[in-house]
């Protein structure tokens, strides 16, 4: 039995679309780009090609933002995707890298413990001791490899990286070169190299970027989806895709369950009901689209393995409660209030109300 990865990289999952785009794309491409900026934008936003191939939308939202992002990368300016958790920052950056360089794997995951070696290079100490300092003993970071290859490097959660480590990026971004002083050598970035960083602007333990570093990025703020329909579409497409890859037998036969969850998320997030009649409290959780997706996926899994294969209110209720109630005291009050004042008054939501009440 061949090993099947749980989740394929973007460039593998969408290999057909990328190939189809490359086939019809006759516009000028920046050096070492697999596609022209136009084709990259089309890849992300979806559309139909002249030869009839349909490209699925990877990002549902403003065309403007995607165009700014692609244009930024084309100017060799680094791109900073900013937004609250769950607004498809990582998703967009992965697909951008896949479309531009055909490789989304050159990624540094930012954490509070990310050392400078992750951004620059480390040493293979066995080799260093045995052979002395040489290029062979250098262990390049993903950024260094991207520079050598002229492709896109991704840095996730840039603001989680300690400030002194962040600053290692400054010379990389402005001089496009990384010195290796031990060898009196340097790595110069090849054409096509660029950096996509993602960062959270609303989270705990964030290290603000220095203005020197900030200045080297073009910033694109990814917003939460504008309309209910957009958000439902996003959740639906992603849940179906995940369901397929996890081989879950349950199918979501109607959008109504998704619409309900998305409505609840939007209402709690904005602090008012969709008809703007009732004010409600907002819980401490971000309640992003990504969380709506995971609530639905969870529900589908429950329905498939423990239910009758049809997604019902009971299947959604547990993970819905878990997503909303992050703080066991405050959020529970908010959630109870919402259930009693809003959910209870909607007759067609009676099953959901009952399911949530049973959970306590």
Partner 1 sequence: MASVGALVEVLGVRHHGPGSARSVAEALDELDPDLVVIEGPPELDGLLELGGRRDLVPPVAGLVYAVDAPRRASFYPLAEFSPEWVAMRWALRRGVAVRFADLPAVHALAETPASPDDSEDVEHTGDAEHGPPDAIGTLARVAGYDDPERWWEDAVEQRASSALARFAAIREAMSAVRAADGWGDRDPENQRREAAMRRVLRAAVKEGRERIAVVCGAYHAPALDPAAWPAAAHDTRLLTRLPRTKVAVTWAPWTADRLAVASGYGAGVTAPGWYQHLFVSWSRNQDDEVVSRWLTRVARALREEGLPAAPATVVEAARLAEALATVRGRPSVGLPELDDATEAVLCEGSPLPLGLIHRRITVGESLGRVPAGTPMVPLARDVDRTQRALRMRPSATETTLVLDLRKPSQRERSVLLHRLRLLGVPWGQPADAGRTTGTFKEAWTLQWHPEYAVSLVEAGLHGTTVVGAASSLVAERSAQADLDALAALVEQCLICELPDALDDVVRALAARTATQADVVSLLLAIEPLARTRRYGDVREADTTLVAEVLDTVVARASVDLRPGCASLDDDAAARMRDAVDAAQRGVSLVAGDGPPAVWRAALLAVASDRQVHGLVSGRVHRILLDGGVLDTSAIAERLSQRLSVGSSALAGAAWLDGFLDGDAVLLLHDPALLGIVDDWVSGVAEETFDDLVPLLRRTFARYQPAERRQIGTRLQHRDTSGPSYDGSEGGPTDDELWERAAPVVSRVAELLGLGPVGSSR
Binding site for partner 1 (CB under 8 A): 37-38, 41, 64, 67-68, 70-72, 74-75, 77, 80, 82, 211, 214-215, 218-221
Complex with partner 1: residue 54 or 201, whichever CB lies closer: 201
Helix H or strand E segment including 91: helix 89-101
Q: How far is the CB of 158 from partner 1 (least distance, A)?
A: 13
In whole angstroms, the minimum distance from the beta carbon of 82 to partner 1 comes to: 5
Count Cβ atoms below 10 Å from residue 249 Cβ, excluding itself.
Answer: 10
Residue 219 or 336 with smaller CB distance to partner 1: 219
Closest separation in Å from C-beta 68 to partner 1? 5
Q: Shortest gap between Cβ of 34 and partner 1 (angstroms)?
A: 16
Report in angstroms how near the CB of residue 8 gets to partner 1 at its nearest. Answer: 28
Q: How far apart are CA 271 and CA 279, in angstroms?
A: 6
Q: By C-beta, is 140 or 192 nearer to partner 1?
A: 192
> Given the DSSP bridges, would you call strands 217-221 and 78-83 parallel, antiparallel or unpaired?
parallel
Closer to partner 1 by CB, 221 or 246: give it.
221
Q: Which lies closer to partner 1 via its Cβ, residue 82 or residue 293?
A: 82
Question: CA–CA separation, 15 vs 323, rounded Å?
Answer: 34
Q: In terms of CB distance, is 68 or 128 closer to partner 1?
A: 68
The secondary structure element, H or E, covering residue 55 is strand 54-55
Q: Assess contact for 73 and 121: CB atoms under 8 A.
A: no
* Cα(21)–Cα(15) distance, integer angstroms: 10
Q: Which two tokens stand for residue 7?
A: 């989740």
Question: What DSSP assignment string belongs to 94-116?
Answer: HHHHHHHHS----EEE--TT--H
Distance CA 73, CA 65 (A): 13
* CB nearer to partner 1: pick between 38 and 123: 38
Yes or no: say if 10 and 95 are a contact pair by the CB < 8 Å rule.
yes
Q: What is the C-alpha separation between 206 and 157, in angstroms, rounded?
A: 9
Q: For partner 1, give the closer residue by CB, 199 or 295.
A: 199
Rg of the chain, C-alpha, whole Å: 23
**CB neighbour class for 216 (10 Å; exposed up to 12, middle 13-18, buried from 19):** middle
Residue 171 Cβ vs partner 1, minimum distance, rounded to whole Å: 15
In this structure, the dihedral spanned by the alpha carbons of residues 309, 258, 296 and 42, taken in order and rounded to 10 degrees, is 120
Considering the complex, what minimum distance in angstroms separates the CB of residue 149 from partner 1? 22
Of 215 and 281, which has the nearer Cβ to partner 1? 215
- Show the tokens assigned to 179: 């010195």
Query: Whole-number minimum distance, CB 194 to partner 1, in Å?
Result: 12
Asked if 120 and 161 touch (Cβ cutoff 8 Å), the reply is no
Shortest Cβ 276–partner 1 spacing (Å): 23
Two structure tokens written together for 191:
């054409």
């Amino acid at each position: 039995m061949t090993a099947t990865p749980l989740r394929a990289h973007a460039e593998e999952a969408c290999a057909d679309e990328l190939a189809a785009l490359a086939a019809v794309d006759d516009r000028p491409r920046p050096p070492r780009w697999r596609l022209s900026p136009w084709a990259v934008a089309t890849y992300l936003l979806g559309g139909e090609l002249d030869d009839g191939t349909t490209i699925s939308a990877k990002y549902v939202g403003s065309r403007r933002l995607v165009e700014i992002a692609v244009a930024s990368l084309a100017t060799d300016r680094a791109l900073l995707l900013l937004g609250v958790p769950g607004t498809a920052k990582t998703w967009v950056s992965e697909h951008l890298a896949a479309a531009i360089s055909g490789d989304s794997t050159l990624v540094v995951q930012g954490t509070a413990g990310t050392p400078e070696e992750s951004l620059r290079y480390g040493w293979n100490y066995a080799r260093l001791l045995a052979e002395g300092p040489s290029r062979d003993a250098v262990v390049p970071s993903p950024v260094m490899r991207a520079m050598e290859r002229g492709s896109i490097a991704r840095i996730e959660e840039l603001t989680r990286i300690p400030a002194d480590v962040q600053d290692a990026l400054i010379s990389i971004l402005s001089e496009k070169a990384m010195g290796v002083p031990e060898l009196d050598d340097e790595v110069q970035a090849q054409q096509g190299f660029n950096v996509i960083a993602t960062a959270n602007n609303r989270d705990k333990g964030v290290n603000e970027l220095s203005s020197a570093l900030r200045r080297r990025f073009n910033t694109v703020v990814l917003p939460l989806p504008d309309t209910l329909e957009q958000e439902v579409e996003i959740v639906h497409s992603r849940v179906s895709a995940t369901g397929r890859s996890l081989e879950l037998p349950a199918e979501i036969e109607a959008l109504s369950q998704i619409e309900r969850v998305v409505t609840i998320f939007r209402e709690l997030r904005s602090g008012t009901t969709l008809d703007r009649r009732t004010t409600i409290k907002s819980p401490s959780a971000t309640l992003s689209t990504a969380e709506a997706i995971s609530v639905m996926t969870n529900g589908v899994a429950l329905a498939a393995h423990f239910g009758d294969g049809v997604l019902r209110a009971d299947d959604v209720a547990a993970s819905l409660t878990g997503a909303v109630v992050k703080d066991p005291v405050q959020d529970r009050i908010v959630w109870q209030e919402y259930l009693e004042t809003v959910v209870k008054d909607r007759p067609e939501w009676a099953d959901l109300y009952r399911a949530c009440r049973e959970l306590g």
